[in-house]
């Protein structure tokens, strides 16, 4: 018996009947020989970690563009926090932790530079040139299927690819037949919930640290229900999900769901629309529009290729390239 076969047997003997077993994966688009050491989902996790798009996440904005503080989250630290939360929930529910981790590590590979501002602007540029739009979840799927490894893709399993795509709803630029309302596995559900837990709490933590908010500004119901500190809020939400997820349902209790939505609405009005962030939006738009026109006109890229090119950039690289294009030379 190989080490991989040992782990596959361990999954069958210990995981919940509702967990997704690596030995029963729907497989990859291109067949490969099985690894003697790692399960299919463990291989997927490793491929994502070693990918170029994963490394670039360290220089991509989460919410606060070009943060001066070393402690402000980036897209990479966000991804790691989602992975940690998702693994905790998955392990407690006896789901497949390897599948959960792979989905979590890959869920934001297609995110643009400059955070959600960059995503909105790139969506507008894509639509102006005839594409249906742009959404980071669909782009993350495109990264692992088409763009990594010089166009060969990572050849991940079906379960990981669908989990990456299904971590977010509200997409219009995906192929037909994907059920975004109901993820394909419980592990994918766990990542979707963990993504919300992570970003709501660390965006709040970053906003407090940046002076955008005072602790006294928080809605009283959020503090009373979820807790008064960053750690206590995450711990309370994780415990609530584990306690209230039964059968084929992964989610919060009604009380916690209400306060989670309360916190989300508060962040949208008080942080994501903060004047300091709004002030930078025209500058970000100018940078991205300049890069987009450069891609189409000077590099002779098609619209789809231009969108791929820009979405893969880090904030730092996008600004360096913009300066080389826009600034006059001696």
- pLDDT surpasses 80 at 64: no
Q: What is the pLDDT of residue 174?
A: 55
- Rounded to 10 degrees, what is the CA torsion of 102, 21, 34, 155? -40
Where is average pLDDT lowest: 52-56, 273-277, 316-320?
A: 273-277
Burial call 199-238: b when 16+ CB within 10 Å, e when fewer = bbbbbbbbbbebebbeeeebeeebbebbbeeeeebbebbb
Average pLDDT, the chain: 93
How large is the average pLDDT for residues 232-241?
97
How large is the average pLDDT for residues 128-141?
95
For residue 127, the enclosing domain spans 40-192+277-325
Q: What is the pLDDT of residue 35?
A: 96
- If one compares 240 and 279, the residue with the highest pLDDT of the two is 240
Q: What is the pLDDT of residue 67?
A: 57
Q: What is the pLDDT of residue 137?
A: 94
> Would 245 be classed as within a structural domain?
no
Confidence band of 147 (pLDDT split at 50, 70, 90): very high
Find the helix packing angle between 254-270 and 186-210, rounded to 10°. 40
Is residue 62 within 8 Å of 82, Cβ to Cβ? no
How far, in Å, CA of 49 to CA of 83, rounded?
Answer: 12
> Would 89 be classed as within a structural domain?
yes
> Would 160 be classed as within a structural domain?
yes
- If one compares 246 and 6, the residue with the highest pLDDT of the two is 6
Q: What is the pLDDT of residue 278?
A: 85
> Would 140 be classed as within a structural domain?
yes
Where is average pLDDT lowest: 26-30, 152-156, 169-173?
A: 169-173
How far, in Å, CA of 186 to CA of 141, rounded?
Answer: 19
> Would 153 be classed as within a structural domain?
yes
How far, in Å, CA of 235 to CA of 249, rounded?
Answer: 20
How large is the average pLDDT for residues 216-242?
94
Q: What is the pLDDT of residue 261?
A: 95
How far, in Å, CA of 210 to CA of 72, rounded?
Answer: 8
> Would 54 be classed as within a structural domain?
yes
Quote the number of domains for the chain: 1
> Would 175 be classed as within a structural domain?
yes
CATH number of residue 66's parent domain: 1.10.3210.10
Q: What is the pLDDT of residue 66?
A: 56
Where is average pLDDT lowest: 177-191, 200-214, 223-237, 246-260?
A: 177-191
Q: What is the pLDDT of residue 173?
A: 52
168-200 tens-digit pLDDT? 876 655 555 566 678 899 999 999 999 999 999
Is residue 157 within 8 Å of 27, Cβ to Cβ? yes
> Would 269 be classed as within a structural domain?
no
């Amino acid at each position: 018996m190989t080490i991989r076969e040992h782990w596959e047997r361990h999954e069958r003997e210990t995981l919940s009947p509702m967990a997704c077993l690596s030995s029963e994966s729907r497989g990859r688009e291109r067949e490969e020989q099985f690894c003697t050491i790692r399960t299919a989902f463990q291989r997927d996790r490793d491929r994502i970690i070693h990918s170029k798009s994963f490394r670039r996440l360290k220089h991509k904005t989460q919410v606060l563009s070009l943060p001066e503080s070393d402690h402000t989250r980036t897209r990479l630290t966000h991804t790691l926090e989602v992975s940690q939360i998702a693994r905790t929930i998955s392990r407690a529910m006896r789901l497949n932790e390897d599948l959960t981790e792979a989905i979590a590590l890959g869920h934001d590979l297609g995110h643009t530079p400059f955070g959600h501002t960059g995503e909105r602007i790139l969506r507008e540029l894509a639509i102006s040139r005839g594409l249906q739009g742009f959404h980071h979840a669909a782009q993350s799927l495109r990264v692992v299927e088409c763009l990594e490894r010089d166009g060969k893709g990572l050849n991940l399993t079906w379960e990981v690819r669908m989990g990456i795509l299904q971590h977010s709803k509200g997409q219009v630029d995906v192929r037909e037949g994907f059920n975004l309302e109901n993820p394909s596995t419980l592990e994918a559900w766990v990542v979707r919930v963990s993504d919300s837990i992570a970003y709501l709490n660390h965006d709040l933590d970053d906003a407090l640290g940046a002076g955008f908010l005072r602790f006294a500004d928080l809605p009283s119901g959020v503090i009373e229900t979820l807790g008064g500190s960053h750690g206590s809020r995450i711990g309370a939400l994780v415990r609530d999900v584990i306690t209230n997820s039964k059968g084929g349902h992964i989610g919060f209790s009604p009380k916690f769901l209400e306060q989670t939505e309360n916190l989300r609405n508060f962040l949208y009005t008080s942080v994501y629309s903060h004047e300091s962030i709004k002030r930078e939006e025209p500058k970000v738009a100018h940078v991205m529009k300049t890069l987009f026109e450069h891609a189409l006109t000077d590099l002779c890229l098609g619209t789809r290729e231009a969108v791929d090119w820009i979405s893969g950039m880090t904030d730092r690289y996008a600004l360096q390239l913009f300066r080389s294009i826009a600034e006059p030379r001696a």
